[in-house]
């Protein structure tokens, strides 16, 4: 890839507009788009230029794929599981329902197929390995999170019963432009229901855009997936902010949180919109999450830190906490874990709480 083309891609992924006066009663709605609740990104062209010309690209590391059992995943109707495909893509199975997060199965996180950040760890599952997908949650429209080639393939492989794609505001149009008719969009704090699951769109601190002309025109978000009182938080991409304490104030403790731990250096440039492992631990604690899994590392080279550093720093940070060090870990690409989500027991607990009120 030429340096000019990669620089243009970097601009599309990392620059942002300053805050504007609110155009609606909701403070994160501004003229022409959206802004964060607590910190308005202020990095502009000169900052991108400075980072780009000073950066040193780390060497890729090639992580082995875990052995998995696609036949089991395709037929599984009873075991609650989570499988890390890579980056921010997880397959979650609960009570026979199959869920994907930010699905990305192609070679590049880029507007073009011949250049841009290339995947150096292959997906832990292929598209052909997947069971029929019931719904997909999308955090925002950056190329490493919204891969239109992948979502179009997911839609086309299930013509009679396509997955429903849940996005933030104004992202639905990107799906419709690809002929995908099953997308729904939501604002922060809005909720919906699908197949016995409650989905809640929640604020995180980030930005959006796929070119130099559409900065923050679509809404970025996190998601809470709730079933029978069990709650899974999916963070997408985020910097650290008070949003996570707000989420806990509204929803209480999380049973499982999927939190980014990579793409954080240099801090002077990345801190506002990408957490480092120590800040990810603080999110884990703000949410009072029983179990958290680190994502957004080990798949694409997007920033300056060594590609194998995030899990090392995460482990050291958790060890410093003490007895709960195993409550926030990472997975191997392709690894499947059985989740301890006894939803029937949780339903009884919720019923008992309601009766006691």
Domains of the chain (ranges; CATH) run: 3-356 (3.60.15.10)
**How many angstroms separate the CA atoms of 44 and 50, rounded?**
10
Q: Are 329 and 290 in contact (CB under 8 A)?
A: no
pLDDT at site 3: 41
pTM of the model: 0.89
**How many angstroms separate the CA atoms of 7 and 12, rounded?**
9
Nearest to 225 by CA among 234, 212, 235, 215: 234
pLDDT at site 16: 41
- How many beta carbons lie within 10 A of that of residue 149, not counting itself? 14
Q: Are 231 and 251 in contact (CB under 8 A)?
A: yes
pLDDT at site 45: 67
β-pair partners for 232: 225, 256
Ramachandran region of residue 171, left (φ > 0), alpha (ψ -120 to 50) or beta?
alpha
Q: Which residues does 81 contact at the CB level (< 8 Å), separation at least 6?
A: 73, 91, 92, 93, 336, 337, 338, 339
Burial of 330 (0-12, 13-18, 19+ CB in 10 A): buried
Ramachandran region of residue 216, left (φ > 0), alpha (ψ -120 to 50) or beta?
left
- Can you list the residues of the chain whose pLDDT is less than 70? 1-24, 45, 342-357
CA distances for 275 relative to 24, 39, 317, angstroms: 29, 14, 14
**How many angstroms separate the CA atoms of 23 and 344, rounded?**
45
Q: Are 174 and 189 in contact (CB under 8 A)?
A: no
pLDDT at site 342: 62
CA 119 to chain centre: 17
Q: Are 150 and 106 in contact (CB under 8 A)?
A: yes
**How many angstroms separate the CA atoms of 300 and 208, rounded?**
18
- How many beta carbons lie within 10 A of that of residue 317, not counting itself? 20
CA distances for 332 relative to 166, 284, 317, 337, 349, angstroms: 26, 20, 19, 10, 33
**How many angstroms separate the CA atoms of 6 and 111, rounded?**
11
- Strands in 19-105 per DSSP E: 29-30, 33-34, 81-86, 89-94, 97-101
- How many beta carbons lie within 10 A of that of residue 16, not counting itself? 22
In sign, the C-alpha dihedral spanning 97, 260, 243, 288 is positive
């Amino acid at each position: 890839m030429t340096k000019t083309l990669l620089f243009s891609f970097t601009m599309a992924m990392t620059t942002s507009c300053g805050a504007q006066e609110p155009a609606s009663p909701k403070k994160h709605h501004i003229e022409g788009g959206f802004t964060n609740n607590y910190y308005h990104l202020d990095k502009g062209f000169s900052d991108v230029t400075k980072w780009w010309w000073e950066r040193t690209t780390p060497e890729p590391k090639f992580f082995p794929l875990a052995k998995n059992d696609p036949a089991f995943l395709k037929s599984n109707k009873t075991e609650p599981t989570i499988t890390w495909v890579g980056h921010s893509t997880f397959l979650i199975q609960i009570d026979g329902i199959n869920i994907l997060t930010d699905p990305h199965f192609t070679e590049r996180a880029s507007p073009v197929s011949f250049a841009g950040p290339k995947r150096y760890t292959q997906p832990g599952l292929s598209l052909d390995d997947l069971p029929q997908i019931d719904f997909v949650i999308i955090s925002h429209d950056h190329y490493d999170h919204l891969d239109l080639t992948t979502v179009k393939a997911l839609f086309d492989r299930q013509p009679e019963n396509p997955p429903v794609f849940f996005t933030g505001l104004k992202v639905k149009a990107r799906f419709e432009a690809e002929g995908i008719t099953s997308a729904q969009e939501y604002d922060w704090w809005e909720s919906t229901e699908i197949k016995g699951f409650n989905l809640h769109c929640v604020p995180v601190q980030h930005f959006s855009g796929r070119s130099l002309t559409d900065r923050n025109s679509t809404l970025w978000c996190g998601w809470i997936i709730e079933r029978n009182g069990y709650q899974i938080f999916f963070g997408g991409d985020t910097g650290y902010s008070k949003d996570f304490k707000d989420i806990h104030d509204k929803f209480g403790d999380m049973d499982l949180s999927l939190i980014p731990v990579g793409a954080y250096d240099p801090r002077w440039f990345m801190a506002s919109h990408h957490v480092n492992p120590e800040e990810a631990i603080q999110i884990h604690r703000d949410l009072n999450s029983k179990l958290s899994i680190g994502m957004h590392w080990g798949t694409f080279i997007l920033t300056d830190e060594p590609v194998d550093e995030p899990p090392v720093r995460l482990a050291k940070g958790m060890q410093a906490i003490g007895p709960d060090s195993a409550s926030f870990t990472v997975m191997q690409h392709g690894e499947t874990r059985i989740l301890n989500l006894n939803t029937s027991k949780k339903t009884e607990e919720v019923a008992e709480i309601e009766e006691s009120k």
